[in-house]
Amino acid sequence: MSADEETPEIDDEPVPCTVCRGTGTLISNLGGSPSDVECAWCEGTGVFLPEHDAQAAKRAAQGEGEPAADTAAEPAPE
Ligand SMILES: [Zn+2]
């Protein structure tokens, strides 16, 4: 018996992703027209991923090969 668990409230039941309501799909209005996109928070599974980093997934989708330098093309302030 190992009662040394950090999260005793954890359940085996999958938790529906609250961002997409368990559908795995989000409606993106980018560009002016709505389109279905895969939910980055659950990777389209519809199940909440506690340890998932949606920001990291986004960065990977935008260009994984780019150097991690802060060289964003920002317009120089006047
Ligand atoms: Zn989701």
pLDDT attached to residue 14: 79
- Look up the pTM and report it: 0.48
Distance 77 CA to ligand 1 centre (A): 38
Can you give the residue ranges of every domain in the chain?
13-49
DSSP 6-24: S-TT--SSPPBPTTTTTSS
pLDDT attached to residue 46: 94
Distance 55 CA to ligand 1 centre (A): 13
Tell me: the pLDDT tens digits for 3-56?
A: 676 766 666 777 899 989 999 999 999 889 999 999 988 999 999 877 777 677
Distance 27 CA to ligand 1 centre (A): 11
Distance 5 CA to ligand 1 centre (A): 27
Report the alpha-carbon distance of residue 34 to residue 46 in Å, rounded: 20
Is-contact 22 16, C-beta < 8 A? yes
